[in-house]
A = this chain, B = another copy of it.
Amino acid sequence: VKSDSGLTVPVVGVAGYKHVGKTTLICGMVQKFSSQGLRVGVLKHDAHGFVATPEGTDTHAFAEAGAMAVAIASPDGHVAGEWRLSTEPSLAELVARVGRVDLVIAEGFKSSEIVKWVLLSEIDRARSGYVMPDFCHDAGRVEKVLGWLVPGPPYQVAEDSRGVYDRNDIETICERTLQTFGFGVG
């Protein structure tokens, strides 16, 4: 695990088991932050690899031919790309690559010691209460948890004194996130 020091932009994580709703939550956060005029970047960690470029596209053809990097640019400032690096980039390297944004939301960076929201399903909560999911244990110090996000009441405060919030309460989740990084305070 590389160090994540040297982050040039505030980064908030969204952690949780598969299919718990991380992508939906992140989309809600992106919408809310964007409506407030913030420029948001999203980083996603895919442990299983993925096909970035569909067959039939030029990008795919170039990558198949052996290109280490492919970038496509449009006059409206839209750039899409695909890179093959020699090793997994650190979170800091990815954040630097994201460029000029005000805030980065990171999904699935298990072993990064960033502050994070933890999404729990009803089953997660019933099974183990408000505990850091197993997969976070590498860097899962509870101090890094901004709060537990659950699908329904009760929303009482967990024993570790982290807050428990409705995962649909995007307003509060975003507000707390910004407070954490000192946005708009004062």
The reply to whether B79 and A89 contact each other, CB–CB distance below 8 Å, is: yes
Closest to A29 in B: B65
Query: Does A53 interact with chain B (Cβ within 8 Å)?
Result: yes
Least CB distance from A115 to B in Å reads: 19
Closest to A90 in B: B73
Number of interface residues of A (CB under 8 A): 59
Complex Cα distance A98/B71, Å?
7
**A84-138, CB < 8 A from B:** 84-89, 94, 97-99, 101
Residues of B within 8 A of A31 (CB): 65-66
State the majority secondary structure of interface residues on A: mixed
Least CB distance from A33 to B in Å reads: 8
Most buried by B among A33, A39, A67, A87: A67
Query: Does A154 interact with chain B (Cβ within 8 Å)?
Result: no
What is the copy number of this chain in the assembly? 2
The reply to whether B43 and A73 contact each other, CB–CB distance below 8 Å, is: yes
Closest to A109 in B: B73
Query: Does A27 interact with chain B (Cβ within 8 Å)?
Result: yes
Closest to A99 in B: B69
Query: Does A74 interact with chain B (Cβ within 8 Å)?
Result: yes
Query: Does A52 interact with chain B (Cβ within 8 Å)?
Result: yes
**A49-65, CB < 8 A from B:** 49-50, 52-54, 58-59, 61-62, 64-65
Other than the given A43-B71, A81-B83, 11 more pairs (CB < 8 A) read: A39-B68, A42-B62, A44-B70, A44-B72, A46-B72, A47-B75, A49-B76, A69-B99, A77-B87, A79-B94, A83-B98
